């Protein structure tokens, strides 16, 4: 049996990212943004126009990440 064919155990999450959605004021599309902690312009991937976003509070992100141990504590218990 080669290394390539060896059965591999299911791998648990080893990190996480929190995605936020902003509604484009031009076309109404929800645009996904991973953890936007700085104010900036966002380009809508549907209509291509730009709009400014209100950033998210970093404390809230730290809280969720700490609660889930950076994703490690989020694995479905039935699979562990
Ligand atoms: Zn748009």
**Is residue 34 included in any domain, yes or no?**
yes
**Is residue 76 included in any domain, yes or no?**
no
- Give one DSSP letter per residue of 4-39, joined into a string: GGS--PPPPP-----EEEEE-TTT-PEEEEE---S-
Length of the chain: 80
pLDDT value at residue 2: 58
The per-residue pLDDT for range 21-50, each reduced to its tens digit, is 999 999 999 999 999 999 999 999 999 999
Ligand 1 midpoint to CA 58 (Å): 26
How far apart, in whole angstroms, are the C-alpha atoms of residue 28 and residue 37? 22
pLDDT at residue 1 greater than cutoff 60: no
**Is residue 65 included in any domain, yes or no?**
yes
**Is residue 1 included in any domain, yes or no?**
no
pLDDT value at residue 13: 95
pLDDT value at residue 6: 83
- Residue 42 belongs to what domain range? 13-71
Mean pLDDT check: name the lowest of 3-12, 15-24, 46-55. Answer: 3-12
**Is residue 64 included in any domain, yes or no?**
yes
Domains held by the chain: number: 1
Q: Which residues surround ligand 1, an ion (CB under 5 A)?
A: 24, 26-27, 29, 44, 46-47
pLDDT value at residue 80: 81
The per-residue pLDDT for range 60-79, each reduced to its tens digit, is 999 999 999 999 999 999 98
């Amino acid at each position: 049996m080669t290394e390539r064919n060896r059965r591999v155990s299911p791998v648990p999450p080893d990190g996480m990212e929190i995605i936020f959605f902003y509604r484009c004021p031009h076309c109404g599309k929800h645009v996904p943004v991973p953890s936007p902690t700085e104010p900036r312009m966002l380009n809508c991937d549907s209509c291509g126009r730009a709009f400014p976003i209100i950033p998210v509070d970093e404390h809230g992100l730290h809280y969720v990440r700490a609660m889930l141990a950076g994703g490690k504590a989020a694995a479905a218990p039935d699979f562990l």
